[in-house]
């Protein structure tokens, strides 16, 4: 099923016995404006009803949750400010980088700041990393890291957007801990890949009426494979790795995740096939052990096309070509069903 359609159908089923006005109290947080518009379009298709509040997670950065939190500084202002410090550093140490790299370096530092603030990582933590054989390059990198260190002083510096979003989430989590909201709060379609978002999901999961709807959770993944995903070095590139990390953060297990609706998967055989094919590298021997149990592979691969690439570079090219040939009204179903925890 389409994600937005499945989300709305499950929500309406769960709120069928509620008063019409109660649906308007429901808060739904999504990652993108596209998903926000898509969910609204499903509701707009009728029948007429009061709609839930559909918000972007990133909008939390502008939430007036507390008067004690100052407004976020303009990203452009911050980049221009950083460029002045980078320019001074390049004047003092011209061997670090050419002058032409001034604005590229400023943008890179701004992005690094955003990621560090979102993850709650301080410059001191970065500076203390043991990089061993990369010490020469690392010393040069630390010169640039020193530029952004003063901006992490929350007492004297206005927060950046990422920093303020994390501050808002921390304030909300504390408020909800003391006085949980009396209406449902749902996070839909996020994997918690960003630190601030994972923190927000942890706060919502702890609410009496909180729910997290995960996109593409693999119910065919055996528990022993799930348990082995605590090894970052070998499983970080697996599609379910983010969910495993998220479950660890919010204190849930694989068995705590339930389907959002009773609708059965459209292609259960294909789901099982893809799940097996994506096993982490250390256990790909399971292809031979479990492959024969998949049953009719012709049915599982019906409608699929195998494209063999000569090298890694051409791999993405067939995808937009195939998508361009799909009818504009087509809405391919997700590989796995919607899930909730």
Q: Are 96 and 90 in contact (CB under 8 A)?
A: yes
Domain range for residue 97? 75-157
Edge-first strand listing for the sheet containing 53-56: 53-56, 27-30, 185-188, 210-214, 339-340, 258-259
Give 336's pLDDT tier (boundaries 50, 70, 90). Answer: very low
Residue 335 has pLDDT above 50, yes or no: no
- Per-residue 3-state assignment (H helix, E strand, C coil) for 128-144: CCCCHHHHHHHHHHHHH
For residue 125, tell me if it sits in a domain.
yes
As a whole number of angstroms, the distance between CA 327 and CA 324 comes to 8
pLDDT at position 334 is 44
Number of domains composing the chain: 1
For residue 99, tell me if it sits in a domain.
yes
For residue 211, tell me if it sits in a domain.
no
For residue 119, tell me if it sits in a domain.
yes
**Cis preceding-peptide flag for 76 (omega within 30 of 0):** no
pLDDT tens, residue by residue, 230-285: 877 778 888 899 999 899 888 889 999 999 887 777 888 888 898 998 888 777 77
Q: What is the DSSP letter of 28?
A: E
For residue 101, tell me if it sits in a domain.
yes
- Please give the average per-residue pLDDT across 289-312, as a whole number: 82
For residue 33, tell me if it sits in a domain.
no
- Please give the average per-residue pLDDT across 200-211, as a whole number: 94
Residue 176 has pLDDT above 90, yes or no: yes
H helical segments located in 18-101: 20-23, 33-44, 75-92
For residue 115, tell me if it sits in a domain.
yes
Residue 179 has pLDDT above 80, yes or no: yes
For residue 141, tell me if it sits in a domain.
yes
Spatial neighbors of 55 by CB under 8 A, at least 6 apart, are: 27, 28, 29, 30, 36
């Amino acid at each position: 099923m389409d994600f937005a359609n499945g989300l709305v159908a499950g929500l309406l089923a769960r709120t069928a016995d509620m008063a019409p006005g109660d649906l308007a109290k429901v808060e739904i947080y999504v990652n993108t404006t596209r998903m926000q518009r898509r969910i609204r379009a499903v509701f707009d298709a009728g029948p007429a009803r009061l709609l839930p509040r559909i918000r972007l997670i990133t909008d939390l950065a502008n939430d007036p949750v507390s008067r004690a939190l100052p407004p976020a500084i303009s990203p452009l202002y911050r980049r221009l400010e950083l460029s002045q410090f980078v320019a001074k550093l390049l004047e003092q140490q011209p061997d670090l980088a050419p002058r032409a790299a001034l604005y590229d370096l400023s943008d890179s530092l701004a992005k690094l700041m955003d990621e560090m603030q979102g993850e709650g990582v301080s410059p001191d933590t970065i500076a203390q990393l043991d990089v061993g054989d990369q010490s020469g390059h690392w010393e040069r990198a630390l010169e640039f890291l020193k530029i952004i260190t003063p901006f992490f002083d929350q007492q004297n510096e206005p927060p950046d957007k990422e920093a303020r979003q994390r501050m808002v989430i921390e304030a909300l989590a504390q408020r909800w801990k003391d006085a949980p909201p009396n209406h449902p709060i749902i996070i839909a379609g996020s994997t918690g890949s960003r630190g601030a978002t994972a923190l927000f999901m942890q706060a919502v999961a702890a609410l009496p009426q909180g729910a997290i709807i995960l996109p593409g959770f693999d119910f065919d993944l055996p528990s022993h494979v799930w348990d082995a995903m605590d090894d970052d070095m070998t499983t970080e590139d697996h599609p379910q790795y983010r969910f495993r990390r998220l479950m660890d953060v919010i204190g849930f297990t694989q068995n705590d995740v339930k389907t959002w609706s009773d609708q059965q998967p459209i292609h259960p055989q294909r789901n099982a096939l893809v799940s097996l094919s994506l096993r982490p590298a250390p256990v790909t021997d399971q292809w031979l052990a479990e492959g024969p149990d998949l049953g009719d592979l012709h049915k599982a691969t019906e409608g699929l096309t195998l494209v063999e690439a000569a090298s890694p570079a051409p791999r993405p090219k067939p995808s937009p070509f195939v998508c361009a040939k799909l009818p504009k009204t087509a809405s391919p179903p997700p590989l796995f069903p919607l899930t909730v925890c």
